[in-house]
Each structure stands twice: as C-alpha cells, then as structure tokens.
Amino acid sequence: MRLKRFLKNPILRPKRENDWESKLVFNPAALYENGLFHLLYRAIGEDNISRIGYAVSSNGYEFFRLDKPVFTPMGILESKGCEDPRLVSLEGKFYMTYTAYSMKGVRVSLASTRNFIQWERYGVVLPDMENKDAVLFPEKIGGRYVMLHRPMDPPRSIWIAYSNDLVKWGDFKKVMAPIEGRWDGIGIGSASPPVKTEKGWLLIYHGIDKDGVYRLGAALLDLEDPSRVLGRHPEPILEPEEDYELRGEVREVVFGCGICEVEDKYFIYYGAADKVICGATAEKRELLNLF
C-alpha cells in the first residue's frame, strides 16, 4: 500500500517576495477543524532562521497563506529558529510541539493557541536532552498527557513520556527502534501525531537508511498502553520518487509532520527535499488493513 500524491504537488513553494520564506518552505503540521484544513509550516529566508507560517484551505488541496509568520523565535534556546511543528486539538486548544534550535542544540518546546495567531508559550519541556520529533496524543490516556519524542543519542529511536501538566515529563520508555538493514535502519522519528482508530493508535513515522534517504512508514500502538507496538508495516508507505522529492535543499527526502482525518480518508502533508510542501492521501480502510 502506498500513499497517493496530490496531482498538483507541490502545494506550497518558497515565496520570493517574503524575506522570511524566500528560500525554503517545508515540514508542515496539519489539523482539520470545523471544515477547514490548517497548516503550520517551517519557513527559511535569507537569514537562514526557521520561522513558522500559516496556511488554510477549504478542500485540503489549495491553500491561502499569510504574508507574515505566525510564530517567530524568542529567547536564547530559539536563537537559530523554530523548526518542524506538529499540531493536535486537545481540551479546547490547539497545541503545537516544535523544535527549538540554538547553539545548545535542539530541544522540544510547546505552545498553544485558539486561533493560530496568538500564542501561549510553555518553553522547553524536555530541557536536559537534545531531542526532537515530539508529538502529543490528542487525548489523555490513563489520566495523563502522553508524548512521543526522539532523543538525538543513537540509535535514534522513538520514546514515550507522560505528564500531569504538559510541562514536566517523566516515565521515559523506548517504544520503537531502527531495524538494521531496512529502509528505517539508521534512525526513526514520529511524523504526525497519532490518530485514534478502532484498531489502535495509528502512527505515521519517518525512517532513514544508510544512504540518508527519508521515507514514511506506519505503525500501530495499543490504545490503552501506547508504549506497546501492535504492528509495524515492514515496507514504506511513501518514498522519494518525484523530482521535487529527489532534488532540493536535501536530496531524497519525504518528511511528514501532519495528518488530517476527513470522513473515510487521511490527508498526509509532508516536506519534500527540505524545499517545498506536498500532500498525499490514503483510504482509511486500506491503511488500517496493513495491520
């Protein structure tokens, strides 16, 4: 089973007239709410600092974007940028996990909003480790908030953490590791936040092989104990094939950060070659039949 690319990919490209997004736009978080598709995407301009832009669509394919970023770096730990957002709707707010980048490395940070314009910042929530690819589950499990994240120490694996307040996290446990010799043999990380299904939590994740190629795969986690992997499809569901995925700022990359569940279909949004934003779809039945 492979994802079906949008016919008009890429859906967003760098915008030369906007300094902050004139070079690269990629790795979009996505959320479907009240009939609209919302994207928060990473953008880089002439100063090589990552900021986060906003785009909205009524059909999931054609997006209108604002000319100014909606989230910009603040403080020493974001001095080199805010990278790779992920979005969930949780308890009446939209929560964004993102990577804070500075001379001290990369850290997991958190912010929330009700309108994608005004933000409440919670700062770095995993302060003592280099870490990224953090995604929140869209509901509490066992009375606690749950997050997947990826410490930078090799082997680059997916870990889980739990919290009572979204700020202090603990009970760290490894969930999934690379599988040597495969397409995901060097490193893995969560792509989009987990989606609740009747079979379990559907997790789209990225994998890196020995040649540095990024692909997307799928796994299924237990609904009540998401540290338990119920299934992990052995083959990628999307890999670099099109020219816009093969050539860009970084060659041979598909890097998903967002998924929207709409009726019987999943819309999956990804960065291609670290330069443009693309989308693909999957029938829910087909994707869940992998497990």
Q: What does the alpha-carbon distance between residue 177 and residue 185 come to, in Å, rounded to a whole number?
A: 8
Fold classified for 4-288 = Tachylectin-2; Chain A (2.115.10)
CB 25 within 8 A of CB 42: yes
Taken in order 31, 187, 109, 48, is the CA torsion positive or negative? Answer: negative
CB 125 within 8 A of CB 133: no
Residue pLDDT, tens place only, 109-162 = 999 999 999 999 999 999 889 999 999 999 999 999 999 999 999 999 999 999
Q: What does the alpha-carbon distance between residue 152 and residue 148 come to, in Å, rounded to a whole number?
A: 13
Amino acid at 47: D
What is the pTM (predicted TM-score) of this model? 0.98
Question: According to the model, what pLDDT value does residue 205 have?
Answer: 98
Residue pLDDT, tens place only, 7-42 = 999 999 999 999 999 999 999 999 999 999 999 999
Distances (CA, A) of 43 to 62, 121, 141, 274, 280: 18, 19, 33, 10, 20
